[in-house]
Amino acid sequence: MKKYILIPVVAFIALTAAVTADIFSSLDISREQAKQRLLESMGEGYIVSGEHDLVSKAKSLPVEMRVAGIRQLIKLAKEYTSGDEFAADYKKWRNGKLNPGQKSRLGVPKLRRMLDNAVDRALDSRENEDRYPADPNKLIKKRLEEFLEVSGSVDFDAKLSGSMFVNPEYEQKDDKWKMCYRVGKETIAAAREEAQVWLKEIN
């Protein structure tokens, strides 16, 4: 399976940061694909390799559409993550992350792998809980806080020389910071407003 990015969730916000009133047709993805990408990006918190074509599509739209689109996308994210569907999807996804390779190609449990995974989980329980909290609300809160922290530090007036930043300090920034920069000041400002409201509702 490909690795995806998220909203706010830095990945999902950045990935679909520009859409028209019909978000799905604008980016040529289905609602179910959008949910899958949200789940992956919420879980991992980074942008997926191979998804830059969607970012390019988003960037080609007018600023007003991008701003309206990101607000719509966050609304979808809030609706999806607040229901039982996301809780069940996340539980299944999390189990796969914490128990890799437990089944053979025929779907028969591998006893040795199950025992190894159980030992690993016992040793790494604190790290696992921090990375993949059992409570999906903790994960969402963590991703929102990460997005607000990263996006709040972006210098949208930074200059480029070709595809590289003139300031070498900016060139050393991670992909999340650079993605926010590419998405643009207006769209990220709208995303930050929505993320702040969402975070207050969770708290």
**pLDDT score for 25:** 63
Is the model's pTM score more than 0.75? Answer: no
| Per-residue pLDDT, 43 | 78
Name the nearest CA neighbour of 80 among 33, 28, 147, 44.
33
Q: What percent of the chain lies above the pLDDT cut of 90?
A: 22
More confident residue, 190 or 16: 190
Give the span between the Cα atoms of 186 and 124, in whole angstroms.
41
- Tell me the average pLDDT across 98-108: 56
Compute the distance between CA of residue 77 and CA of residue 73 in angstroms, rounded to an integer: 6
First to last CA, the chain: 33
Q: Which pLDDT belongs to residue 151?
A: 92
The three-class DSSP label of residue 103 is strand
Percent of the chain with pLDDT over 70: 65
Whether 102 has a pLDDT exceeding 60, the answer reads: no
Amino acid, res. 76: L
pLDDT surpassing 90 at residue 161: yes
DSSP symbol at 173? S
Task: Give the pLDDT of residue 117.
Answer: 56
Given a cut of 60, whether residue 65 has pLDDT beyond it is yes
Task: In whole angstroms, give the CA distance from residue 86 to residue 36.
Answer: 10
The token pair at 24 is 């799905």
- Average the pLDDT over each of 68-82, 150-164, 166-180, 185-199 and give the range with the smallest value: 68-82
Q: Which residue has the tokens 């963590």?
A: 142
**Which one has a higher pLDDT value, 189 or 103?**
189
Q: Does 46 score more than 90 pLDDT?
A: no
Whether the pLDDT of residue 169 is over 50: the answer is yes
Q: Exposed, middle or buried by CB within 10 Å (0-12, 13-18, 19+), for 187?
A: buried
Element (H, E) at 160: strand 160-161
